[in-house]
Structure 1
Amino acid sequence: MQNDNQRNLLSKTYNMATPPEMAMRWEEYENLIFTQWQELLNHNPKPSEIEIQSFLEQYPSLVPGAYNIVGGESGHPPTPHGLISQPTLPSYHSYIPDFLWISHNSSCVEPVFIEIESPKKRWFTNSGTFSQDFNQALGQLEDWRVWIKEPINQISFKSFYGLDKYPYNERAFVPYFVLIYGRREEATSNPNWNKKRHEKEKDDLKIMTFDRLTPHY
């Protein structure tokens, strides 16, 4: 019964309709999104995390990870053909990710757990050490990494998102984690700070600024 209820959360709850007019060309749409994104990031006062979350929900092409976050880009669309906002993590009872893509290719299922923070949060203190906000955000990704490595948690995750059935159940399961944090101007203002930031990355954990987000066709 619990699994049936969980699956209902992912069931189709809409009907497709014929649009009243042709969609704009991608180049126009890309320019529109990019312009609005820059206006939001550079707005004074600086946007809150809730405002950023809402904007990215409306324009999911800005969120990285749909077609793989590491290595070559997959030719397969993500499942379930959309960006999942504030996803359920079955058996995990603490802070959940802001977004989840379930990327995959012919050999791997690669869920991408994404954490965003307010762009106004600083990377470093005045003394050059990582800020408490940054350490806290990075620690959250580490918690998800530890959680998903447990076989029983992988089983519940796969079951909840329908990854325990063909063809996904025949592919390797390789989770990735992304932290989107702060602005490029601060992160690159000091060469040593930029190197320290890079050292925090791992093979399965990527860190980027909000400036790096651009629309993906």
Structure 2
Amino acid sequence: MTLDPDAWPGWDGLGKLRALLRKQVNENPTEALANAKHLLINRASAAPDKSLVPRIAAEAALHCGLPGIELLREIALSHRSPLLGATALESLWAVSIGQPVPFMYFGGEWVSTFPELRESAGTVLDDLIIDSHNDDELFGALLSLANRESPHGLGELIHPEGAGFARHFMQVSAESGIILTARMLDNFRDLISSSGLESVYQDFLERNPVLLNPLAAEVISQGRLGLEFITDFVVRLHDGRYVVIEIERPQDPIFTKAGDLSARFNHAVGQILDFQSWIAENTAYAQKIFPGISSPHGLLIMRLRPSMTGKQESKLRRWQQNSRDIQHVTFDDLHRLGLTLLRSLRGKSDTQGQEMGS
């Protein structure tokens, strides 16, 4: 049964809508979530219904748990009318600071602060703030929310430590020079768990260079030296040093069945060595392309660590000890390091960080 947003006129109608959604949440959460989504996307035509129906729908969505948080994230990203986008963002903020979804002048029972969703709502909201740096519409919606001072809206939504949304928005924005989100890491985890062409992984890392090096000043994809050598990435660090990066696929074997290093591994290492040697022999020319480059370090990204045996891990460590200028990491190493960095940036505990990446 799909609910019509115009079928609940006046305060009595809104009360009945709220009661019906509460009943659906208890009896059929899937139906309740579907109706919440429909009511969030399709606005009622009359006031105050057009402002209160989405808030009632948002509260119902939150009573559905984590799927409701995901729905509000989807609405914030895809439906950015002044009302609908603000309703989703405002609801996420309210839950993240332990407050009920604001209902303006609409009273009644069934008001919840959703303490079990507080951490998840905060993570999603902070991800949206960071993503907004590359999304003008989302940034505008968040900025509009930060500027709101309604006596029955965000003006009452003050963080227990005294910071309102505007201050939180500015703080997260100021701290997010490193663009890293929990959702990005989830997408990366899913990507490296599936089999694809090497270009798929390269494209993802090109769009999210923080995974290669969070302190990189510049990341150049398909770095070329003359007509001879092309490497997957060249990273320039803030101190002027360079790193040459080659990637293979997460599924590509490092070892043969006989326990020897595979041809694919040796070929990738050889490509890095060729690039390093060319720079050493043609430094002046190379520096015209990559200013200041000299003796770049090498990085090979290949394989997933759980797919290797203890004997293979031990042999790889010995190889690494003997390879001074080339480092090997696995794709899941990048994911784990990303989670550690995200915990540090967001000030999360180890347990919270594991929840974000689970």
State TM-score, norm by structure 2: 0.43
1:157 match: 286
Equivalences for residues 79-94 of structure 1 within 5 A: 82-89=218-225, 91=226, 93-94=227-228
- 1:102/1:17 CA distance change after superposition, 3 Å: closer
1:208 pairs, out of 300, 323, 329, with 329
- 1:41/1:102 CA distance change after superposition, 3 Å: same
- Counterpart code for 1:47: G
- Counterpart code for 2:208: Y
2:10 match: none
- 1:21/1:125 CA distance change after superposition, 3 Å: same
- Counterpart code for 2:211: L
Could you say what secondary structure the match of 2:243 adopts? strand
Deviation beyond 6 Å, 4+ runs, structure 1: none
Greater RCO (Cα-Cα under 8 Å, separation 6 or more):
1
Q: How far did 1:84 drift? A: 0.6
Alpha-carbon separation, structure 2, partners of 1:95 and 1:55: 22
Q: How far did 1:29 drift? A: 4.7
- 1:173/1:162 CA distance change after superposition, 3 Å: closer
- 1:155/1:173 CA distance change after superposition, 3 Å: same
Could you say what secondary structure the match of 2:185 adopts? helix
- Counterpart code for 1:87: G
- 1:120/1:132 CA distance change after superposition, 3 Å: same
- The answer to whether the Cα contact below 8 Å between 1:123 and 1:186 also exists between their aligned partners in 2 is no
1:102 match: 236
Larger Rg: 2
- The answer to whether the Cα contact below 8 Å between 2:246 and 2:301 also exists between their aligned partners in 1 is yes
Equivalences for residues 18-57 of structure 1 within 5 A: 19-22=136-139, 25=172, 29-43=180-194, 46-57=195-206
- Counterpart code for 1:21: L
2:58 match: none
Alpha-carbon separation, structure 2, partners of 1:142 and 1:161: 17
Alpha-carbon separation, structure 1, partners of 2:196 and 2:300: 17
1:123 match: 254
Alpha-carbon separation, structure 2, partners of 1:160 and 1:129: 37
1:133 match: 264
Q: How far did 1:21 drift? A: 3.3
1:178 match: 299
1:193 pairs, out of 303, 306, 312, with 312
- 1:49/1:17 CA distance change after superposition, 3 Å: closer
Q: Cα deviations across residues 137-169 of structure 1 (Å, max 9, x unaligned)?
A: 11111212222221xx11111122343xxxxxx
Alpha-carbon separation, structure 1, partners of 2:312 and 2:134: 50
Alpha-carbon separation, structure 2, partners of 1:207 and 1:41: 16
Could you say what secondary structure the match of 1:97 adopts? strand
2:63 match: none
- 1:85/1:17 CA distance change after superposition, 3 Å: closer
- The answer to whether the Cα contact below 8 Å between 1:48 and 1:119 also exists between their aligned partners in 2 is no
- 1:53/1:17 CA distance change after superposition, 3 Å: closer
- Counterpart code for 2:189: Q
Unaligned runs of 5+ in 1: 1-15, 68-76, 164-171
Could you say what secondary structure the match of 2:254 adopts? coil
Q: How far did 1:48 drift? A: 1.5
Alpha-carbon separation, structure 1, partners of 2:286 and 2:329: 26
Q: How many residue pairs align between the two structures?
A: 170
- 1:20/1:156 CA distance change after superposition, 3 Å: same
- 1:58/1:17 CA distance change after superposition, 3 Å: closer
The answer to which structure has the higher helix fraction is 2
Q: Cα deviations across residues 15-72 of structure 1 (Å, max 9, x unaligned)?
A: x9993333885599520111000111112xx1210110111111111113x53xxxxx
- 1:211/1:55 CA distance change after superposition, 3 Å: same
1:166 match: none
Could you say what secondary structure the match of 1:198 adopts? helix
- The answer to whether the Cα contact below 8 Å between 2:276 and 2:295 also exists between their aligned partners in 1 is no
